[in-house]
């Protein structure tokens, strides 16, 4: 499971009553994820379900930027992501 700090973006877009949501990537793939809220040592969300399969399939690793979008501020059950890979210039 991946852990996200529950402050800022998560605080504004994912309601505390949310237990599952769908991530739709820029290729149109749908990933059913689960959210587990925790409070120790700080408020956070653990992501599970299809999250790990999405990370592997989309080859998300250090240096890859993920742009996240939500339909509305508040409780959302659908999250849109777009993967941006670093540009490598060969000289």
Whether the CB-CB separation of 33 and 18 falls below 8 Å is answered with no
Q: Where are the domains of the chain?
A: 2-84
What digits encode the pLDDT tens for the residues 59-80?
888 888 888 887 776 667 888 8
Termini Cα distance of the chain: 39
The model scores a pTM over 0.95: no
What digits encode the pLDDT tens for the residues 25-40?
999 999 998 888 777 7
Cis amide leading into 33 (omega within 30): no
Q: Report d(CA 66, CA 38) in Å as an integer.
A: 23
Tokens of 19: 């237990």
**Domain made up of 2-84: CATH architecture:** Beta Barrel (2.40)
What digits encode the pLDDT tens for the residues 1-19?
566 655 666 666 666 677 7
């Amino acid at each position: 499971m991946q852990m996200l700090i529950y402050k800022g973006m998560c605080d504004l877009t994912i309601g505390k009553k949310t237990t599952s949501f769908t991530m739709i990537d820029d290729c149109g793939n749908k990933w059913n994820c689960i959210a587990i809220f925790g409070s120790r040592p700080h408020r956070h969300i653990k992501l599970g379900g299809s999250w790990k399969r999405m990370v592997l399939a989309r080859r998300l690793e250090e240096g890859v930027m993920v742009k996240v979008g939500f339909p509305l501020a508040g409780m959302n059950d659908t999250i849109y992501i777009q993967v941006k890979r670093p540009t490598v210039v060969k000289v």
